[in-house]
Amino acid sequence: MRTMRNKSHCTQIAFAMTFLLVYSLPLAAQVDCNLVRKATEAAPWSRTFNIPTHIYSTTKFGDYKHEVEMIFVDGSAYFREDYGPWTLDNSIPKQAEERVARNPKSKYTCRYLGDEPVSGEMAAKYSAQDKARKSKTDELVWISKTSGLLLRQETKWDNGNVMILRLEYVNVKSPL
């Protein structure tokens, strides 16, 4: 029972951190963050949920590794954790909007680091730092050079926790 409770708690934390990370970038005011902001505003968990997307999320809390997948397609949201069964969860858009409303304005600084391939696609790589929250973050963000969509995001907190997001936009289908 304790394992299930801890797993559920970690899932809630990972889910909350995913949305807070993605929604904090659109609030950045720096000119260097305009492309990053544009890419994250177009991300599938935005209020429109209109881009078919498969998101792979790995979060490391010390020695514990937690895997989450989300698929947004045909107006529906699907979710699974640690390679378990898929569930239809159309509450995800509402939860995302609620998290955005609660998210404090972040103070991001961004810097272009160069171009590199991500899953065979050229991407612009940026570093971003948020120093406004209690827990500071260092992020790396890869944005497609062709579509302007977010392809990958790595976030490291000052407490040592790490989250890696990988997003795919091709051949996205309902898992159910």
What CATH number has the domain bearing residue 128? 2.50.20
Q: Is residue 133 part of a domain?
A: yes
Q: Is residue 74 part of a domain?
A: yes
Instruction: Output the pTM of the full model.
Output: 0.75
Mean pLDDT of the region 107-127: 90
pLDDT digits over 126-154, tens only? 998 876 666 788 889 999 999 888 899 99
What is the distance between the alpha carbons of residues 48 and 11, in angstroms, rounded to a whole number? 24
What is the distance between the alpha carbons of residues 55 and 44, in angstroms, rounded to a whole number? 9
pLDDT digits over 32-58, tens only? 577 776 666 555 555 446 789 999 999
Q: Is residue 128 part of a domain?
A: yes
pLDDT digits over 78-110, tens only? 999 999 999 998 776 666 666 555 555 556 688
Q: Is residue 173 part of a domain?
A: no
Total domains, the chain: 1
- Return the pLDDT at 97: 62
Q: Is residue 37 part of a domain?
A: yes
Q: Is residue 175 part of a domain?
A: no
Give every strand in the sheet of 137-144, ordered side by side. 87-88, 76-81, 64-73, 53-61, 162-168, 150-157, 137-144, 121-130, 108-118
Q: Is residue 174 part of a domain?
A: no
Query: What residue numbers bound the domain in which 90 lies?
Result: 2-168
Q: Is residue 10 part of a domain?
A: yes
